[in-house]
Chain A
Amino acid sequence: MAVHQRTRQSEAQLLQPKVRKVVDLARRLYLLELEGFPETFRPKPGQFLHLRPTKEDYPLLRRPISLQSYRDGVATLLIREVGIGTELLHRARPGDCLDALGPLGTAYSPVRSGESVLMVGGGVGVAPLVAAALEAEPGALVDFCYGVATAGEIQSLDFLSGRENEIRIHVSTDDGSSGHHGFCTEVAERLLEERRYAKIFTCGPWVMMRKAFRLGSERKVPVEASLEVQMGCGLGACLGCVYETPDGDFIRSCIDGPVVDGYGVSWENH
Chain B
Amino acid sequence: MGSLTLANPVMPASGTFGYGEEFAGLFDLNRLGALVSKAVSTLPRHGNPPPRLVELKSALLNSIGLQNVGTQGFIEKKLPFLHDYSPPLIVNVVGDSVEEYREVVEALDPHERVSGFEINLSCPNVKKGLEYGTTCAGVERITSALRAGTRKPLWIKLSPNVSNPAELGKAAEGAGADAIVAINTLGGMVIDIEKRRPVLGARFGGVSGPAIKAVAMKVVWQLHEAVAVPIIGVGGITRTEDAIEFLMAGATAVQVGTANFVNPLTMIEVIEGMREWMGERGIKKIREIVGAAHG
Chain A residues at the B interface, C-beta cutoff of 8 Å: 8-14, 52, 57-62, 99, 101, 229-244, 248-250
Do the beta carbons of A238 and B210 come within 8 Å of each other?
no
| 28 residue pairs from A and B, CB less than 8 Å apart | A8-B25, A9-B24, A10-B24, A10-B25, A11-B25, A12-B26, A13-B25, A13-B26, A14-B264, A52-B263, A57-B211, A57-B238, A59-B55, A62-B262, A229-B50, A230-B54, A232-B53, A234-B261, A236-B18, A237-B16, A238-B18, A241-B53, A242-B47, A242-B67, A243-B50, A244-B50, A249-B46, A250-B47
With A237-B16, A243-B50, A250-B50: A61-B62 Cβ-Cβ less than 8 Å? no
Residue contact A237 to B23, C-beta cutoff 8 Å: yes
Closest A residue to B15 by CB, please name it.
A238
B261 contacts A238, CB within 8 Å? yes
Question: Within 8 Å of chain A (Cβ to Cβ): is B80?
Answer: no
Bound: A11/B24 CA distance, A: 11
Besides A60-B258, A238-B18, A240-B52, 18 other A-B contacts (C-beta < 8 A): A10-B25, A11-B25, A12-B26, A57-B210, A60-B60, A61-B60, A229-B51, A230-B54, A231-B53, A232-B53, A232-B60, A238-B15, A238-B261, A240-B64, A242-B50, A242-B52, A242-B67, A244-B49
**A11: chain B residues within 8 A (beta carbon):** 25
What is the chain B residue whose CB lies nearest that of A229? B50
Interface of B is mostly: loop
Per the 8 Å Cβ criterion, residues 158-195 of B in contact with A are none
Chain A contacts of B49 at CB under 8 A? 244
Once the chains bind, are A236 and B22 in contact (CB under 8 Å)? yes
Name B245-276 residues within 8 Å CB distance of A.
258, 260-265
Closest to A233 in B: B261
Which residues of the other chain, A, contact B53 by a CB distance below 8 angstroms? 230-232, 238, 240-241
| Cβ–Cβ contact B263 & A9, under 8 A | no
Q: Which residues of B contact A250 (CB under 8 A)?
A: 46-47, 50, 67
Q: How distant is B235 from chain A, measured CB to nearest CB, in Å? A: 13
What mask results when residues 17 to 43 of chain B are scored 1 for a CB within 8 Å of chain A, else 0?
A: 110011111100000000000100000
A237, B36: Cα distance in complex, Å: 13
Output the nearest chain A residue to B258 by Cβ-Cβ distance. A60
The total of chain B residues at the interface (CB under 8 A) is 39
Chain A nearest CB, measured from B205 CB (Å): 10
Contact B55 A61 (CB under 8 A): yes
B3 contacts across to A, CB distance below 8 A: none
Cβ of B227 within 8 Å of any chain A Cβ, yes or no, is no
In the bound complex, what is the Cα–Cα distance between A62 and B261 (angstroms)?
Answer: 8
* Nearest B residue (CB) for A253: B50
> Taking the nearest CB of chain A, how far is it from the CB of B265, in angstroms?
7
Chain B residues, Cβ within 8 Å of A9:
21-25
Shortest distance from the beta carbon of A15 to any chain B beta carbon, whole Å: 11
Q: How far is the CA of A59 from the CA of B26 in the complex (A)?
A: 23
In the complex formed, the residue of B with least CB distance to A8 is B25
Are A239's CB and B238's CB within 8 A? no
Residues of B close to A238: CB separation below 8 A: 15-16, 18, 53, 62, 64, 261
B64 near A239 (CB under 8 angstroms)? Answer: yes
Measured between beta carbons, the chain A residues less than 8 angstroms from B263 are 52, 99
Q: Are A239 and B60 in contact (CB under 8 A)?
A: no
What residues on A are CB-neighbors of B18 within 8 Å? 235-238
Q: How far is the CB of B103 from chain A (nearest CB, A)?
A: 23
Q: How far is the CB of A221 from chain B (nearest CB, A)?
A: 28
Considering the chains assembled together, what is the distance between the CA atoms of A211 and B258 in angstroms? Answer: 37
Contacting pair B67 A239 (CB below 8 A) = yes
A residues near B64, Cβ cutoff 8 Å:
238-240
Does B59 belong to the interface (CB within 8 Å)? Answer: yes
Q: Are A235 and B23 in contact (CB under 8 A)?
A: yes
**Interface status of B294 (Cβ within 8 A of chain A):** no
Residues of chain A contacted by B281 (CB below 8 angstroms): none
Assembly CA distance A10 to B25 (angstroms):
4
Minimum CB–CB distance from B63 to chain A (whole Å) comes to 9
Q: For the complex formed, measure the closest distance between the CB of B252 and the CB atoms of chain A, giving whole angstroms.
A: 26
